[in-house]
A and B are shown apart, each in its own frame.
Chain A
Amino acid sequence: MRIIELNLENYRNNLNLSINFQPEGALLFGPNGIGKTNLLEAISYIAFGKSILGLRDNELINFSETFFRITASVEIKSQIFHIEAAADKTKKVIKIEKNLISKTSILYNYLKVIYFSPLDIEIIQGSPGKRRQFLDSSISQLKLEYLEILQRFYRILKQRNSLLKDKTNLSSKESWDKKYIEISSIIIKYRIIFLKEFAQFVKEKYHLISQRKENIEIKYRYSFPLLSDLDYFENLTNTIDKNAKYEIKSERSMYGPHLDDLEIKINDHDIRKFGSQGQKRSLSIALKLAQSQMMRENNECHPILIFDDVFADLDEDRTTQIINLLENKHQIFIATPNISQYNQINLPRIDVERFINSE
């Protein structure tokens, strides 16, 4: 899986360019603010149909223009595809082989990208919502239907919360409870199955990165205590029955997948409280590498790996080690202001500043 050619029109700060990439990828260097991240973001736009940095489409359009367009030729399992994404101030259009696609999520079947960002550390030290989001998006990339299940879950959750708050239609509560428990159980099933394999990969990757024997443990943390002789469905049913009054008083759903968390321990201690910055950084990279491994196992493809200046607080040896860890079947893009950190890395170099000025 690789990107062969990328063309940008009116994308962000003056990027109108056409660029060909080698199968192994590129090391993009240049001073801060020159547009390295924009370039990486554009590559990932072709995979996700939206900005990986959470920007709105109209924020991607160059200030003096009314639309942007990204076109790319990509190779997926020896087949070449042409993908085009464009947006003006009101709407977005995505085409695969010149055919308009009806839903952005159809794109997920094509290019697979794992984006390593300095903000990934938030998955570890941020709020539980960050970890749920990481978990859910990792599963969605493997199982397309999970996205629909998740949307259904949030719809039912919203309805049920409204019922608990409004209180006028509590006679239909039993039915909403039943649907809520049913869909929650499906979500949990997907998450637990995913985590079983994923946690093992994280452990392995972390050991390879840190070269230390620290024990990493990732466990799913439920939002209520579970009795081990019952399954999740029965546990949630009992908890909701027992706490009906409390939920009505609280005016929202107090138990379920939307409040669960991941517990990450390093040598039996909560990494959020006791982990060093270096440990957290290494682990955040391990999480993403494990995500890539999951894709390899499930789709037999090697996703494109994008590293946006994530190695800044690691030394050269550690960085080299991480890159060498990766199979050469991945196309790899690394952006950095500091090229000297990558002396031992064998990737084609692209001077972004010179490249943009020569266009």
Chain B
Amino acid sequence: MFSGILAELEKNLKSLPGIGPKTAQRLAIFLISMEKDKSLQIADSITEAVNSYHNCSECNILTAENPCKFCTAPERDNKALCIVETTQDVYLIENTHEFQGKYFVLTKLLSPLDGIGPNDIHFSKLIQKVKNENIQEIVLALNPSAEGETTIVFLATNLKDLVPSITRLSTGIPFGGDIEYSSTPTLINALKRRYTVKE
């Protein structure tokens, strides 16, 4: 068991995702035993990143510039908006190169158990944005969890009169999946949203 400053460091490291008590201890020891310059460099870059990154005032994405590079990019489609839960999701979608519009990060999903309602997912800001920028298409890229699905219903219901096209990510058989091992709900979804291979 550590004590004092080292225990504090261990406790702080443990609060990171994917870090358990053993890893936290190992990292703490590693940080104090490595070359001082290097470990201070880690500390500095944490301080710098944390100090310079904020939520974009337009779309909530974590960014060093405000507005963010997505909101200010002239080549991106102004009329299409992809709604995601986290900043990480934005980058996952960017990796696909399939979406050229702009983003809106909810930061959370509706979850009464955690006290999260429409105000906590920046709903009024979203409505304003949709109205001001005359958004024509919305893509709801949220997890198909109980909370994600309900948030999709909430947004779709409340935006349907403002936006001509609202779509959500498809759910069904994944690439590398197998019909034999797909559950009935998955197959139902896949059948409902099947697509044409020959016109």
A166→B150 contact, CB < 8 A: no
Closest to A156 in B: B146
A175→B150 contact, CB < 8 A: yes
The one of A158, A172, A179 in contact with B118, judged by C-beta atoms closer than 8 angstroms, is A172
Q: Does A171 touch B at the CB level, under 8 Å?
A: yes
A159→B146 contact, CB < 8 A: yes
Q: Does A155 touch B at the CB level, under 8 Å?
A: yes
Q: Which of B86-129 contact A (CB under 8 A)?
A: 110-113, 115-119
Closest to B114 in A: A162
By a CB distance below 8 angstroms, the chain A residues around B115 are 166, 168-169
The one of A145, A149, A158, A169 in contact with B117, judged by C-beta atoms closer than 8 angstroms, is A169
B183→A178 contact, CB < 8 A: no
The one of B112, B149, B183 in contact with A160, judged by C-beta atoms closer than 8 angstroms, is B112
Chain A, interface residues (CB within 8 Å), range: 20 to 34
Q: Does A19 touch B at the CB level, under 8 Å?
A: no
A156→B117 contact, CB < 8 A: no
B157→A175 contact, CB < 8 A: yes
By a CB distance below 8 angstroms, the chain A residues around B74 are none
Q: Does A144 touch B at the CB level, under 8 Å?
A: yes
Q: Which of B170-189 contact A (CB under 8 A)?
A: 183-186
Chain B, interface residues (CB within 8 Å), range: 20 to 34
- Give, as a whole number of angstroms, the nearest-CB distance from A324 to chain B: 37
A148→B183 contact, CB < 8 A: yes
Interface flags, A133-166, vs B, CB<8A=1, else 0: 0000000000111001100100110111011001
B116→A175 contact, CB < 8 A: no
By a CB distance below 8 angstroms, the chain A residues around B111 are 159
C-alpha spacing A188/B137, complex, angstroms: 36
A166→B112 contact, CB < 8 A: yes
Q: Most chain-A Cβ atoms within 10 A of its Cβ — which of B119, B150, B153, B183? A: B150
By a CB distance below 8 angstroms, the chain B residues around A186 are 185
Q: Does A108 touch B at the CB level, under 8 Å?
A: no
Q: Which of A269-298 contact B (CB under 8 A)?
A: none
C-alpha spacing A179/B118, complex, angstroms: 16
The one of A145, A158, A168, A171 in contact with B113, judged by C-beta atoms closer than 8 angstroms, is A158
By a CB distance below 8 angstroms, the chain A residues around B157 are 174-175, 178
By a CB distance below 8 angstroms, the chain B residues around A169 are 110, 112, 115-119
Q: Does B154 touch A at the CB level, under 8 Å?
A: yes
Q: Does B147 touch A at the CB level, under 8 Å?
A: yes
By a CB distance below 8 angstroms, the chain B residues around A172 are 110, 112, 117-118, 150, 154
B146→A144 contact, CB < 8 A: no
The one of B116, B117, B150 in contact with A171, judged by C-beta atoms closer than 8 angstroms, is B117
C-alpha spacing A99/B154, complex, angstroms: 43
Interface flags, B135-158, vs A, CB<8A=1, else 0: 000000000001101110110010
Closest to B145 in A: A155
By a CB distance below 8 angstroms, the chain B residues around A160 are 112
A159→B118 contact, CB < 8 A: no
Q: Does A176 touch B at the CB level, under 8 Å?
A: yes
B183→A159 contact, CB < 8 A: no
Contacts A169-B118, A174-B157, A179-B149 given; does A159 touch B113 at CB 8 Å = yes
The one of B147, B150, B185 in contact with A149, judged by C-beta atoms closer than 8 angstroms, is B185
By a CB distance below 8 angstroms, the chain A residues around B113 are 158-159, 162
A159→B153 contact, CB < 8 A: no
Closest to B187 in A: A145
By a CB distance below 8 angstroms, the chain A residues around B153 are 175, 178-179
C-alpha spacing A143/B187, complex, angstroms: 14
By a CB distance below 8 angstroms, the chain B residues around A179 are 146, 149-150, 153
By a CB distance below 8 angstroms, the chain B residues around A171 are 117-118
- Give, as a whole number of angstroms, the nearest-CB distance from B172 to chain A: 14
By a CB distance below 8 angstroms, the chain B residues around A143 are 184
B146→A155 contact, CB < 8 A: yes
Q: Most chain-B Cβ atoms within 10 A of its Cβ — which of A155, A166, A175? A: A175
A-B contact pairs, 27 of them (CB 8 A): A145-B183, A145-B184, A148-B183, A149-B185, A155-B146, A156-B150, A159-B111, A159-B112, A159-B146, A159-B150, A162-B113, A168-B117, A169-B119, A171-B117, A172-B110, A172-B112, A172-B117, A172-B118, A174-B154, A175-B150, A175-B151, A175-B157, A176-B112, A178-B153, A178-B157, A179-B146, A179-B149
